[in-house]
Amino acid sequence: MRFRTTAAATGALALSLVTGCAQGTGSSADTVTYWLWDTNQLPAYQACAKDFEQRNPGLDVKITQMGWDDYWTKLTASFIAGTQPDVFTDHIQKFGQFADLKVLEPLDDLGIEDSAYQPGLAATWLGEDGHRYGVPKDWDTIALFYNEKMTKDAGLSAEELNGLSWNPEDGGTFEEAIARLTVDGKGRRGDEPGFDKDNVEVYGLATNGGGDGDGQTTWSHFAASAGWTYTDKERWGTEYRYDDDTFQSVIEWYFGLADKGYMAPLTDYSVSNQANAQVGAGTAATAFDGAWMLSTYDGFEGVDFGTAVTPAGPTGERATMMNGLADSVTKNARNKPGALKWVKYLASEECQRTVGGLGIVFPATPEGTEAAVAAYGKRGIDVSAFTRPVDDEKGFRLFSYPITNYAADVQALMRPAMQDIYGGGEPVSSLDETNDQINLILDQ
């Protein structure tokens, strides 16, 4: 689901916690080792582990949590060294690589049914060979976070923000709103005479960088609502389409917002100054971000925020990536029987309701989602901009994170290519060559 979460990503120091046991990564016949990266979700899974242990006398769950970057580095190293956990939280970006390396245990015998989870989540974790390698854990969508005071001062209502539309020619009402929210050093708005794009104090739209090859919280919803798809097939595509004319027109318009002074420049973006931080600091009025960031935005002192659905595109539809994490069992798990029991329990209504009750993420089951919506509601957080595309798909296009082999190579090539366009002045046509390089790798 994402570079998930910002709070977890900044927790560079690995934290190993054991449910009533000692630290360590080893496993024994009565212990199941479980790795995850999100520190915000740790209490929920400790509670699930406690219940699981009560239901399965003699089995203990040992949980290790570490920051995003450390997590994937250590997980990959553990497969090489033979110190891998029994179970780990899996991300679709990494799924193709792990499936290709054959380090995942097939989970076909767990009886996972698509109908038990939110639409599309279970099918996401089927490999090219048709076997299941992950059980649904949670899900997220993308929406527009906005500073309520800034939007009110600009004369924009919540109803207007939820009714925006865009196109790559003139940007539509979305660009009009972003321009209106942009303020220069002399207090002139982006849609007013004399606006100085080189002296901006508040940008209408924050930046989350160039968006790499997926653009999850940057350009993905724009490209999808223009009718574009990442690859030639919905899942396990063999050719990427970054050379597509529609895609390149979207990217040219999107990064052009920075040239006009409406969107923060690439130089404003860093690991410590992502879009959420820019909105929290008052240097930007809005940001597209994922549902996993709700608690982060809610934690900003002195900033009341609202959320709006993504703008409708040239196709007439609104679009949002619907991503979902899963729990996977490693092929060489030391306690495979216990691992399989733990993974099945993690996907059960009991654990899903427990996780949902903390209001941190939306669990994969409908009941778990309902528990999360209620928990957010008790804190005064309206999450409808994230749940509407799932609850009522009419007028919304839900699409998945691109699932292909060599995902790491795709990201490694697309990251600098998108940054060169965003901040380096490269034309969007430069993506033709990058796309050829990517497809050459996929054709191996």
pLDDT tens digits for range 235-267: 899 999 999 999 999 999 999 999 999 999 999
Domains of the chain: 6-140+323-386 (3.40.190.10), 142-321+406-442 (3.40.190.10)
Mean model confidence pLDDT for the chain: 92
In angstroms, rounded to a whole number, what is the distance separating the alpha carbons of residues 159 and 299? 24
**C-alpha 20, offset from chain centre:** 32
Exposure on the CB side of residue 67, measured as CA atoms within 13 A? 10
End-to-end CA distance of the chain: 27
In angstroms, rounded to a whole number, what is the distance separating the alpha carbons of residues 347 and 367? 12
In angstroms, rounded to a whole number, what is the distance separating the alpha carbons of residues 3 and 61? 26
pLDDT for residue 93:
87
The three-class DSSP label of residue 412 is helix
Structure tokens at 161: 């923000």
- The answer to whether 423 and 266 are in contact (CB under 8 A) is yes
pLDDT 10s digits, 16-30: 333 333 333 444 569
Rg (CA), the chain: 22
Which residues are bridge partners to 135 per DSSP? 327
Structure tokens at 333: 């798990």
Q: Of the candidates 132, 94, 97, which has an alpha carbon nearest to the alpha carbon of residue 111? A: 132
The three-class DSSP label of residue 18 is strand
Structure tokens at 372: 């999360």
Q: How confident is the model at residue 408 (pLDDT cuts 50, 70, 90)?
A: confident
pLDDT for residue 28:
56
Mean pLDDT in residue range 51-61: 96
Give DSSP secondary structure letters for 103-146.
Answer: -B---GGG---GGGSSTTTTGGGB-TTS-B--EEEEEE-EEEEE
| CB atoms inside a 10 Å sphere around CB 232 | 11
CA dist 216 → 89, 92, 336 (Å)? 19, 12, 34
**pTM score, two decimals?**
0.91
pLDDT for residue 159:
98
